[in-house]
A = this chain, B = another copy of it.
Amino acid sequence: MQIAQVRGTVVSTHKEPSLRGAKLLLLQFIDADGRLLPKYEVAADWIGAGVDEWVLVSRGSAARQIDGNQSRPLDALVVGIIDTVSVDNRNLYSKREQDRSSFP
């Protein structure tokens, strides 16, 4: 999986019928130092990730391994909202601190 930040949404009304009801998020990838990369993925989200949150995204056939997705033409899925990323025993990211800095 890759680490990505939710940056926005993509809306498509004229689409494959099996994709109706799918919420599509624009995710920007984050490198192992916590910086945004010039690379993104549009992924389906059923767990309710919000803008600015860090998430884990699975790509390829993994995106269809949840109930309801098996026959959808999806190649990317938000599989988790990240609480913490630890590298070399220090916190690279912590959702709680992020929230605190947002609501000082």
Residues on A close to B: CB < 8 A?
A: 1-3, 7-16, 18-19, 24, 26, 28, 31-32, 38-43, 47-48, 51, 56, 58-66, 71-77, 79-89, 92
B80–A14 CB distance below 8 A: yes
- Given A1-B74, A42-B3; A15-B64 close (CB under 8 Å): no
What distance in Å separates the Cβ of A94 from its nearest Cβ neighbour in chain B?
A: 9
A15–B60 CB distance below 8 A: no
A85–B1 CB distance below 8 A: no
B42–A56 CB distance below 8 A: yes
Please name the residue on chain B nearest to A17 by beta carbon: B66
Stoichiometry, copies per complex: 5
Contact partners of A63 in chain B: CB under 8 A = 62, 73
B47–A75 CB distance below 8 A: no
Closest 5 CB pairs of A and B: A15-B80, A12-B80, A8-B87, A62-B75, A1-B42
Contact among B2, B15, B66 with A42 in the assembled complex (CB-CB below 8 Å):
B2
